[in-house]
């Protein structure tokens, strides 16, 4: 594996990890923007804009865009979160130049009114779809509850009302402010020639005008609010808990992730043994989500409405115990083994590696080789984990739950 990096004069950064034995290559345009960068009057614009990039440019119609991707058999998509909008594609190595050129063109979209109005329908269907997916809805609502007035509380999708009210002019304005070359990182992974792709990007993106972009990055430990909402059509209780954690930039991020695994991994964790193994809840998990300047531990639990109080009693006991007593050597070692094995499996596919590579650069402005990551994970001690448990109390949680009846 060889790492390479180049920054164009306008600030666009290109990074690549070359693996000459891979049978595919992937590219991602990591744009440092998401719902936390939105003002209330444009709620949902980051995600809507992600959809609009597929609608083409002044010289490329929407249908031509889709055909161009499909012609080369690209596996491609995009996603928007609270703080990132990522456009990516994986292709056979011979098509990487084509697909990178295509994305580069799409990053300067037409944003036409007809497409904008038609796509509003699709966005509202997506909002409706997630309303029928309680495990998503409960997480989204709990983020808003936990972060309150902090920008990370902004909804990614927005609401039907905010989408209806949004104008294409507002979207263009948002685009001009956020899609500045200095706010975008192009990451590449797999089998490709770095210099060739750099030349291509220099000519495709060299004339993008830089803009000053900023972001509120204040740390926030959360509101600790609790809300319980009744939704008559549900039969299970869906519970989300969010408490503070380290940011992506914090060097204790591996200790926090291992702590999350020990408390709430799908198998073998404390929540697994107390809640799932005993069939009190059918799902109970907890994980660390390190973000830009902030971070959270979040849990999702699904149980029967009648058992919700019992579940919360057990969860609080687990949390209190781990804060007081820390974790054992044995638990930490198991968590490390699982994490290391996950890394091996994920990184074997260029697409898996791409996301890690891109985010490391976006958040920390640096390259972290897999070997270095492995070393850092192995170095975590039970004292490191105990420190995380004490400093970022799981008991300081905000809770949002939906179910058939209130408790």
Partner 1 sequence: MTKRTEIFRLSNGMTVIGEPMDSVGSVAFDFFLPAGVSVIPQGLCGVSMVIKDWIFRGAGENSSRKLTDKLDSLGLHRGEKVDSKHIIVGAALEAGNITEALNLYADIILRPRLEADQFDFSKQLALAELEGLNDDPRQKTSLKLREHFYPGPLGRSPLGIKNELESLTAEKTAELIGEYFDISRAIFSIAGKYDFEKICTQIETLFGSEKTKSKSPVFETDYTPGYAYEKYDGAQVHIGLMCPTVGPEHESYYDVRVAVAILSGGMSARLFTEVREKRGLCYAIGAGYKCIKEMAGVSCYAGTTPEKAQETYDVIIAEFGRLVAGISEEELARAKAGLKSALVMQSESSSARSINAGNDYHILGRVRSLDEIKEQIENVTIESVMKFLRENPFEKFTVVTIGSKEIKI
Stretch of 32-40, 141-149, 166-174, 329-337 lying at the interface with partner 1 (CB under 8 A): 329-337
Q: Indicate whether 129 belongs to the interface with partner 1 (CB under 8 A).
A: yes
**Closest distance between partner 1 and the C-beta of residue 155, in Å?**
16
**Closest distance between partner 1 and the C-beta of residue 149, in Å?**
28
User: Count of alpha carbons within 13 Å of 267, Cβ hemisphere only?
Assistant: 3
**Closest distance between partner 1 and the C-beta of residue 285, in Å?**
14
Q: What is residue 228's three-state secondary structure? A: strand
Q: Residues 403, 234: contact at Cβ < 8 Å?
A: yes
DSSP 185: E
Cα(31)–Cα(13) distance, rounded to whole angstroms? Answer: 11
The residues, any chain, with a CB within 8 Å of residue 255's CB and separated by 6 or more, are 380, 384, 385, 387, 388
Nearer to partner 1, 104 or 281 (CB): 281
* Among 227, 231, 261, 266, residue whose Cα is nearest residue 245: 261
Select the residue interacting with partner 1 from 351, 373, 376, 387 (CB under 8 A): 351
Applying the rule CB under 8 A, the residues between 146 and 185 that interact with partner 1 are none
The residues, any chain, with a CB within 8 Å of residue 314's CB and separated by 6 or more, are 274, 275, 280
Nearer to partner 1, 66 or 141 (CB): 66
Cα(343)–Cα(337) distance, rounded to whole angstroms? Answer: 10
**Closest distance between partner 1 and the C-beta of residue 196, in Å?**
20
* Among 311, 313, 324, 333, residue whose Cα is nearest residue 261: 333
Q: Which tokens belong to 289?
A: 């989500």
Nearer to partner 1, 26 or 183 (CB): 26
Q: Residues 147, 36: contact at Cβ < 8 Å?
A: no
**Closest distance between partner 1 and the C-beta of residue 238, in Å?**
7
Select the residue interacting with partner 1 from 39, 216, 230, 345 (CB under 8 A): 345
**Closest distance between partner 1 and the C-beta of residue 160, in Å?**
10
Nearer to partner 1, 36 or 334 (CB): 334
Q: By CB under 8 A, how many residues form the interface with partner 1? A: 66
Q: Residues 399, 229: contact at Cβ < 8 Å?
A: no
**Closest distance between partner 1 and the C-beta of residue 65, in Å?**
8
Nearer to partner 1, 128 or 364 (CB): 128
Select the residue interacting with partner 1 from 303, 360, 382, 401 (CB under 8 A): 303
- Sheet (strand 75-80) strand order: 2-7, 13-18, 184-190, 25-31, 85-91, 75-80
E strands, 52-121, in order: 75-80, 85-91
Applying the rule CB under 8 A, the residues between 17 and 46 that interact with partner 1 are 21-24
* 91: β partners: 25
Q: Indicate whether 371 belongs to the interface with partner 1 (CB under 8 A).
A: no
Q: Indicate whether 128 belongs to the interface with partner 1 (CB under 8 A).
A: yes
Stretch of 36-44, 120-128, 221-229, 310-318 lying at the interface with partner 1 (CB under 8 A): 120-128
Stretch of 203-211, 215-223, 348-356, 384-392 lying at the interface with partner 1 (CB under 8 A): 348-356
Kind plus residue range of the DSSP H or E element containing 4: strand 2-7
Nearer to partner 1, 325 or 337 (CB): 337
Cα(238)–Cα(372) distance, rounded to whole angstroms? Answer: 38
Residues forming the site for partner 1 (CB under 8 A):
21-24, 54, 62-63, 66-67, 69-75, 90-92, 118-126, 128-129, 131-134, 232-236, 238, 267-268, 273, 276-279, 281-282, 302-304, 330, 333-334, 337-338, 340-342, 344-345, 348-351
């Amino acid at each position: 594996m060889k790492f390479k990096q180049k920054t164009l004069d306008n600030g666009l950064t290109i990074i690549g990890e070359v693996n000459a034995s891979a049978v595919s290559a992937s590219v991602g345009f990591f744009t440092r923007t998401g719902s936390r960068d939105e003002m209330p009057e444009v709620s949902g614009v980051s995600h809507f804009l992600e959809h609009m990039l597929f609608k083409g440019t002044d010289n490329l119609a929407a249908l031509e865009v889709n055909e161009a991707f499909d012609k080369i058999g690209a596996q491609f998509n995009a996603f928007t979160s609270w703080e990132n909008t990522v456009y990516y594609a994986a292709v056979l190595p011979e098509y990487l130049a084509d697909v990178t050129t295509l994305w580069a063109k799409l990053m300067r979209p037409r944003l036409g009114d007809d497409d904008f109005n038609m796509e509003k329908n699709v966005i509202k269907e997506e909002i409706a779809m997630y309303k029928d997916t309680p495990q998503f809805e409960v997480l989204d609502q709990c983020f808003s509850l936990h972060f309150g007035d902090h920008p990370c509380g902004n909804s990614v999708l927005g609401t039907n009302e905010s989408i209806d009210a949004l104008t294409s002019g507002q979207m263009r304005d948002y685009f001009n402010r956020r899609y500045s070359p200095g706010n975008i990182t192009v990451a590449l992974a797999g089998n490709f020639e770095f210099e060739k792709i750099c030349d291509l990007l220099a000519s495709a993106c060299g004339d993008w005008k830089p803009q000053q972009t900023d972001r509120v990055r204040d740390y926030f430990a959360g509101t600790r609010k609790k809300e319980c909402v009744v939704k008559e059509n549900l039969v299970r209780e869906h519970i989300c808990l969010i408490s503070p954690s380290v940011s992506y930039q914090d060097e204790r991020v591996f200790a926090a992730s291992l702590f999350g695994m020990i408390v709430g991994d799908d198998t073998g964790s404390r929540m697994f043994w107390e809640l799932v193994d005993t069939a009190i809840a059918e799902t109970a998990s907890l994980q660390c989500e390190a973000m830009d300047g902030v971070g959270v531990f979040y849990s999702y639990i699904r149980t029967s409405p009648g058992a919700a109080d019992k579940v919360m009693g057990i969860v609080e006991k687990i949390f209190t115990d781990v804060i007081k007593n820390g974790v054992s050597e044995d638990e930490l070692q198991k968590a490390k083994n699982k994490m290391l094995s996950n890394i091996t499996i994920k990184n074997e596919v260029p697409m898996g590696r791409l996301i890690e590579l891109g985010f490391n650069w976006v958040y920390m402005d640096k390259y972290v080789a897999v070997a270095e990551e492995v070393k850092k994970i192995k170095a975590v001690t039970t004292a490191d984990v105990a420190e995380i448990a004490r400093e970022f109390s799981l008991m300081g949680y905000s809770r949002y739950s939906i179910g058939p009846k209130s408790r």
